[in-house]
Amino acid sequence: MHKKTIEDKIKEVQAKVNKLNGELNKLHDAKQEPECKSLIGKYFKYRSCFSCPEKESDYWWVYSWVKDYKDGKFYVMEFGKNSSNEISFSAEKRYWFKLDGHISISKNEFWSEYASLLLEFPDAKI
């Protein structure tokens, strides 16, 4: 007869904890789902920066459009131009968290900023 070692017991309890954490996460997602789904189709902006900002010009706006919410995460189109003039664009960025820190903006502001960014590339074939 095999006697369980302390390591066997730890693995057994850890497996139970992992299963319970999975169930708890699903319940949290279900609780948040109505509020999160209400954000689909909405537009936002938020301030971003590198790790050690020293002045206002170290910050920039990142613009987001919530395209969908499923399986506990947002699917977002996002773009911005940082303080080093580097442009970032994601057609479908995934967020596991709520959009804390995001400021609601109009559809017009979002697409106007997007168009302004594209105008920086007048010779691009878009």
The whole-number pLDDT of residue 94 equals 81
Question: What is the residue extent of each domain of the chain?
Answer: 6-51+58-118
Residues lower than pLDDT 70 in the chain:
1-2, 96-98, 124-126
Question: Computed over its alpha carbons, how large is the radius of gyration of the chain?
Answer: 21
Do residues 58 and 66 lie in contact, with contact meaning Cβ atoms separated by under 8 Å? no
Do residues 67 and 77 lie in contact, with contact meaning Cβ atoms separated by under 8 Å? yes
Q: Taking the model in full, what pTM does it have?
A: 0.74
- In the structure encoding, which two tokens stand for residue 95, read together? 């967020």
Residues in the chain: 126
The whole-number pLDDT of residue 42 equals 95
AA letter at 48: S
The torsion angles phi and psi of 26, rounded to 5 degrees, stand at: -65, -40
125: Cα separation from own chain's centroid: 29
The whole-number pLDDT of residue 70 equals 86
The whole-number pLDDT of residue 2 equals 67
Strand runs (DSSP E) across the chain, as ranges?
43-49, 59-70, 73-81, 87-95, 103-105
